[in-house]
Amino acid sequence: MTDWLDEINWNEDGLVPAIAQDHKTGRVLMMAWMNREALALTASEQRAIYWSRSRGRLWRKGEESGHVQKLHELRLDCDADVIVLMVEQLGGIACHTGRESCFYRVFENGAWKTVDPVLKDPHAIYHTGHAHE
């Protein structure tokens, strides 16, 4: 199962950006990074597994929050350097701020305006004191 991974144009750090979208609505939920192992495990476990640059380890989305992303489809762009994951976001929250999507700010009149509500208090989601999952 290595040949398909060889087709990806990994960056100089051995990573590829991965965009998670809701498989029903198409809403962009978040962007994170994957290394070769993370992508291979995502495909085999059928759930989003990323590479946490800040922690320097694999990050199984939902490991602390329970907000697992079940994989429905994996896509690769034309330049083979961006992955799109069509996912079912369990709990309806992808962002560590407790929102549906990490993209909750809209540019209006020269400023970033927050337009999405917090669905769950982040302190109620994370018990370890981490800012990020």
Give all domains of the chain, ordered by start, each with its CATH number: 4-91 (3.10.20.810)
81 annotated among ligand-binding-site residues: yes
pLDDT at 126: 76
32, pLDDT greater than 60 = yes
Q: Give the residue among 43, 131, 41 at the shortest CA–CA distance from 51.
A: 41
At 20, give phi and psi (nearest 5°).
-100, 125
Percent of the chain whose pLDDT exceeds 70? 93
116 annotated among ligand-binding-site residues: no
22 annotated among ligand-binding-site residues: no
79 annotated among ligand-binding-site residues: yes
Residue labelled with tokens 């992808």: 94
pLDDT at 133: 47
Residue labelled with tokens 């498989």: 23
Q: Give the mean model confidence (pLDDT) for residues 15-32.
A: 98
Q: Are 92 and 119 in contact (CB under 8 A)?
A: yes
pLDDT tens, position by position, 65-91 = 899 999 999 999 999 999 999 999 999
Q: Are 30 and 95 in contact (CB under 8 A)?
A: yes
Give 67: exposed, middle or buried? Use CB within 10 Å, 0-12, 13-18, 19+. buried
130, pLDDT greater than 60 = no
48, pLDDT greater than 60 = yes
The whole-model pTM stands at 0.89
